[in-house]
Amino acid sequence: MFPTSTRILIVDDMASIRDLVRNQLKVLGFTEIIESEDGVLAWTVLENQYAQANPIELVISDWNMPKMKGLDLLKKVRSSQVFEQLPFILLTSEAEREQVTEAVMAGVSQYIVKPFSGKVFEEKLKTAYQKHFKK
């Protein structure tokens, strides 16, 4: 599991979902949480935090957002030498097979379908951690 000191970026255009994810993270003991309302702003946060030697260590992003969708943010992250190994979890209310396949092909660490329980959320975090750090 990710250490509770992990710097996490939550990306979602809906404040209520950001609140839900932040509260789930706090229940699990995480304290270093930054929020962004779209993929464009999230990319700026990633770059700024990295430039300040305080890099984001996990992204939890919604799929459907204005300006830049979560999948597009994931693709941008994976195409960057700086961020290509960054654990990235996509949240969505859509469970179509094509989307799951597209996200997997783009290098998503995990995929969480909304609504989700605290237990499912924790399991997905554990699986994403193992994918990146327990090879």
The phi, psi pair for 74, rounded to 5°, reads -60, -45
Backbone conformation region of residue 3, classed left if phi is above 0, alpha if psi is from -120 to 50, else beta: beta
Looking at CATH, the fold of the domain delimited by 8-133 is given as: Rossmann fold (3.40.50)
pLDDT at 99: 82
Rounded to two decimals, what is the model's pTM?
Answer: 0.96
SS3 per residue for 79-103: CCCCCCCCCEEEEECCCCHHHHHHH
pLDDT at 96: 64
User: pLDDT 10s digit of each residue in the chain, 135 long?
Assistant: 999 999 999 999 999 999 999 999 999 999 999 999 999 999 999 999 999 999 999 999 999 899 999 999 999 999 999 999 999 999 988 666 678 889 999 999 999 988 899 999 999 999 999 999 975
pLDDT at 135: 57
